Structures are given as C-alpha cells and as structure tokens.
Structure 1
C-alpha cells in the first residue's frame, strides 16, 4: 500500500461496462414514513453475533431495503458499485461492526436486491434522495462515515455537497470522481461501452443490464453536470485508487483515472490518497484488509 497525505461486480462483465458508463449524484427529496422491519441474516464475527435487520422504507413511491446492524452513535454506510446490491459488503460489514462498535448500514439501490425497480434513466439526484430518505427514516442525522465504491462515488459526491453536516467523513473506494469526467473523456467512455450496452439490451431484465441501460440514457449530460460537483472542505475523505483501475485495458484512460483521484485528493483539506497496490477495481474483494483499515481509521479520526 502507498499512503500519501495531501494538503490541499461486481463481475468483469458488469465492471467493463459499468465502470465505463456507470463510472455514475444531488437533490433532496421529501421522505415518507417507515414501512416495516424484519430480520435479515446473521453474521458471526469472532464469536460475537452481529444480526442485521431489514428495514423497508418508502420514498417517492418506491420501496428500498436498508440492512442495519445497530451499534453506538457512530454510523458507517456502505454503498456498492454499479450492478451490485448490499450483499457486496457481506464479508466486511460484520468485521466493521465488531472492530468499531458502530452502527453499520448497507442498502439496495433502486432496482437492485430487495428494492423496487424504478423505470426510466438512472438519476443521481434520485439516488441521493433515496439515501437521504432512508437515513432520515432510520433516525440517522449525524456522525456518518460514508463508504462508496465505483458508481456510488457519484452519489457520495452529491450527497456530501448537499448534506455535509450529516457526514463526519468518507472513504471513496476506486470511486467515480468529478475530475475524471471531462469533455474529452465522456465520449471515449460512451464509445467504449457501446458493444456491451447493445449486448445488455438483449437481456434487459437482468439487474446489472437494467442498470447499465438506465445509466446510458442521458449519460453525457449527466456527467458533464457531475464534473462540476464540489466536495465540501468540511468533510474529510480518504481516496483509495486501485493500481490497475477499472480501465486497465486502456493505458491512457487508466492514467486519467489515477490522475483524477490525485487531483481530487489535492483539491481540498483533510483528504488522503491511498493506492491499493496490485488491486483491480474490486478493491474491497482484492484488498479487504486495506479497505477495513482505512474505514476504521476514518471512523476513529473524528471520535
């Protein structure tokens, strides 16, 4: 691992397309009342049982699944990348709860896992509204460490811009970041992902394909807007970038990905750049030790 303090599905099929197109941000929407709570699955961590509970919340006419392991006043929210649901974090979530004592929340974005499908193009504003509504209905209003992988980086950036007081910090794991989505880069991403988009349209009911198709609608305009999003100086962030990047097949684009992570980390106070040596884009799977360490350090930094 290379750690440098600075001043100022995921299958490979989903990754190659969703890392190009859903490399995918944020208006606050009104929240609805809590719907129901049921038990999810049990995890064992060094002899101690951490039992997440499934909370179904309703927002903007659709239901969303939030899996909550209760803890102390600190909260860690884990947000998975494109095409992945909350199960992506099944190995890390119990360990984080055991090590930190924090409440750990994973959730299924619309159209994934136990959450309802929402027709039409994927909109980062809607995703931000869903996350905010879920936290509101769970009574989580502060001391949140937001951990976001890949496409979830767009939700994180827009959530932080709109709701900085909720966050005590963030860990952005090989995440989509605004500096990457330049007017030069966006057309390259669209062109490179076109064959996989065409293939996805042959099986549109597959959740990963459905997300790819919905993300492709309006991609250029959405990402030109995302390029202008500003991370608030009040929210410290750890930026983990993979050595291989999600664009390993294109040296030019891979270098731009790494450069964007460095630029983001240098752009404000309280940001740290960490390189996951030897890792693919799937850093939580390739280097779980590193991800755990950086999340736990970020949680501890403000308490």
Structure 2
C-alpha cells in the first residue's frame, strides 16, 4: 500500500550513513526536549515515507528518526541476510553513528514490529517504551494463516520480492520466538479492527493474537483501531500519535 503523501512535513536533516557495506538513508526531525527519541521501523517492503502522516505531531514533542532499511527507498542493498537479527544490528549501528543517545521509544508497524521487539530483547536498556502498530505475531504462519482463503495465502506468499524472501521472513519470526525476556517498559499494542479480506472469524482471531502481545511486558495495553485497516498510521493517525504521546507523557 502506498503511503499517504504529506506536503506539510517539518524540516529534517537527511543523511546517508555507512553501516557496514550499506548506505542507509535517514531523516531526523525535531529536538529531544528532554524526551526519548522516537525511532520508527516500517513494515515489510515499506520505507520512511510510511510514517509521514504522524511525523508532524510527534516531532513537535521530541526527536524522530525514520529510515529506509537496506535495499528499500534510497538505501543501498546489503549482502547480509534480510532477517530481523541483521536488521536490528544495522539499526543499532545506525543509531550509534548518528549519535542518538538511548533510551528510545520504538515504533514498529507490521514486520517492523518484529524488528523492534527483537531490538528490545537484545538491547533492553536502550528501550524506554514501544508502540506496536498492527504488528506480525511470531505464530502468524502456524496459527493465523491457515484460517485464510487459498487466494489470500497465494497472494501472501507472492509478496516476498521487495525485501528478502519468504524463508528469510519466516526466519525472522523464528528469531522472534526466541525472545523470552519479559519487558518492564510500557508497550502500546495497536490493532486494526477492519482488516481487508478478513472474515469475521479471522478478524476475531487477529484481535485475540494482538491482545496476547500485551503479555510481553509487565506494563502493556491494547488499543483497537476499530475502523482502520492494516495501515493505522494512514487510516487513523490520531490513534498512533496518541499512543506515542502517552508514552512520552508517562516517562
């Protein structure tokens, strides 16, 4: 899905940062204002433009970093496997090179939620809170995908051409299954309540699986975006903005 264009974005600092053999494109908005920086990780095949609807509001409160993962947007490709462990390592190095001090509020949409959860597992002291925006659960393939139509499954399998392949995506979910740390930071789980092509039963299962994500932390909350499809930041940007601001206000 193409991100909504936003012509009212505030000024930002654009950089290409060398991370290993890869040049990652970054955009840095706003100032810290004694708040944690907000780091946003887009969904599979998406890049920094996916976050444009919410950047103006959040950048008034703190520093916001959006970036293009390797091989997407303006970033160059990487020979590293396109699995979450490698992406998280690249993000960690990127933040160090940009001199953005932790802790961070991590915001991940869809597959980006897999990445930020793995980041929190490996670098817990760097994380002040997380917002998971309709993120992919680790048991998606085994538990949810079998409930969908054959047409949906075929379309799902064929999407893995933009960033890594099917096996690498599934390996990322396997990596997530190894995350056993109980987080002690606030986590807002945002779930889309009107998913495209979902039956009533599939939507109810999705809601239940999103509700279970609250249990990854001692301080979690589920927020249903009842009338939103998968891209909550497009369909209901105020829901995402409110969740991030609640974390900022509570720290």
TM-score by length of 2: 0.86
* Structure 1 residue 220, shift from structure 2 partner: 4.0
The whole-number CA distance in structure 1 between the counterparts of 2:94 and 2:116 is 15
The whole-number CA distance in structure 1 between the counterparts of 2:161 and 2:122 is 29
> After superposition, where does 1:237-252 map in structure 2 within 5 Å?
237-245=187-195, 248-252=197-201
Q: 1:77 aligns with which of 39, 44, 60?
A: 39
Q: 1:86 aligns with which of 43, 48, 71?
A: 48
The whole-number CA distance in structure 2 between the counterparts of 1:10 and 1:229 is 31
Query: Corresponding residue for 2:232?
Result: 283
- Residue 67 of structure 1 aligns to a residue in which SS? strand
Query: Higher mean Cα deviation, 271-280 or 55-64?
Result: 55-64
Bigger CA radius of gyration:
1
Alignment check: 8 A CA contact 2:114 2:173 kept: no
Query: Higher mean Cα deviation, 287-296 or 226-235?
Result: 226-235
* Structure 1 residue 83, shift from structure 2 partner: 1.9
Q: 1:176 aligns with which of 130, 136, 144?
A: 136
Q: What are the superposed Cα offsets for residues 152-187 of structure 1, whole Å, 9 maximum, x if unpaired?
A: 011011000001111111111111233x43644466
Query: Corresponding residue for 2:219?
Result: 270
Assess, with a 3 A threshold, how the Cα gap between structure 1 residues 258 and 227 changes in structure 2: closer, same or farther.
farther
* Structure 1 residue 43, shift from structure 2 partner: 7.0
2:107 is equivalent to residue 147 of structure 1: yes
* Structure 1 residue 121, shift from structure 2 partner: 4.9
Listed as ranges, the gaps of 5+ residues in structure 2 are none
Alignment check: 8 A CA contact 1:244 1:254 kept: yes
2:147 is equivalent to residue 194 of structure 1: no
Structure number with the bigger relative contact order (C-alpha 8 A, sep ≥ 6) is 1
* Structure 1 residue 140, shift from structure 2 partner: 1.9
Assess, with a 3 A threshold, how the Cα gap between structure 1 residues 96 and 220 changes in structure 2: closer, same or farther.
closer
Listed as ranges, the gaps of 5+ residues in structure 1 are 1-8, 12-41, 201-207
Aligned-pair Cα RMSD in Å = 2.7
